[in-house]
Every structure is written in structure tokens, then in C-alpha cells.
Amino acid sequence: MYACNPPVLSPVPPDDPVIDGAPEVLLNAGDHYNLSCVSRGAKPPAMIEWQKDGIPVDGAVSTTEVLPDRKRVTTHSFLPIHPVDTDTGRNYSCVASNLAIPAGKRTTVTLNVHRKSPSKDTVKTCS
């Protein structure tokens, strides 16, 4: 009698993650926005962590999609943010990791937040 061993699956690291709008995202203060990060080609799927100025941030939603080779996976992650004026210059990083690269691969965007113009209804004029 002999034992049949399952094949050894070699993990594949994800490609470098990509954040939409990198390297600088232009936003209006007070508007809701979803930062979007994609990590392609990983096996097993990449886990994506978001960081704001190097500190982990919660609240992201991730989805996965199996690639046509039926082995590797693409992970999409969306982080909702509500920027304020003082967020200009803040850095958001997307870190994609899996068994093949536990320390992960990272990409970063810098926020450039513009103040909202006052509406015409709130502008006071002097006569």
C-alpha cells in the first residue's frame, strides 16, 4: 500500500499594488471618497491593509477575482475616507501581502485636499 501526497502548491507573491490616482489624489474637503487599491496575480489571494501615515486604518472592503489561469487571484480594496482641509499632505498606503511575501508590497498616495468654495447662499456682501 502507498500514500498519495497532495501536490505542493507554491505561493506566488502579488504584483506591486496600484492605488487609483497615485502619486497624488486631488480631493475636495468634506466630500466622501473611496481610495481604491488593486493587487494582481497572487496565490493565495493577497491580504490588503490600508495605512494612514504608517498607522493601520480600519473600514476597508475587499473583493477577490480568480484570474483565467484559475490559480492566481486579483484583490480589490476600497477605503472610504472623508477628507478635511488638514489632510493635505497625509499619506495613505496600500500594503498587499500573502504567504509568499509576509512583509508585503506597498504603494502610497498623498492627499491634496482643497477647501470647498462657499455657496452663493452663504456669501455675505456689504453695500
The verdict on residue 10 lying in a domain is no
Q: Which residue has the higher pLDDT, 65 or 4?
A: 65
pLDDT at residue 115 in the model = 87
Q: What is the pLDDT of residue 30?
A: 94
Q: Is residue 36 part of a domain?
A: yes
Residue 51 lies in a domain: yes
In this structure, is residue 13 part of a structural domain?
no
Quick one: pLDDT at residue 57?
97
Q: What per-residue confidence (pLDDT) applies to 80?
A: 98
pLDDT at 98: 97
CA–CA distance from 62 to each of 6, 49, 90, 102, 126 (Å)?
30, 10, 22, 18, 52
Domains of the chain: total:
1
Is 1 inside a domain boundary?
A: no
Place of cell 500573502: 98
Domain-located, residue 55? yes
Question: What pLDDT, in 10s, does the model give residues 18-33?
Answer: 999 999 999 999 999 9
What is residue 116's predicted lDDT score, i.e. its pLDDT?
75
Pairing of strands 55-57, 47-52: antiparallel
CATH number at residue 88: 2.60.40.10
* Structural domain boundaries, residue 71: 18-114
Mean pLDDT of the chain: 90
The full 3-state SS of 63-79, as one line of letters, equals EEEECCCCCCEEEEEEE
- pLDDT tens digits for 94-125? 999 999 999 999 999 999 999 876 665 555 55
- Does 30 fall in a domain? yes
| 6 found inside a domain | no
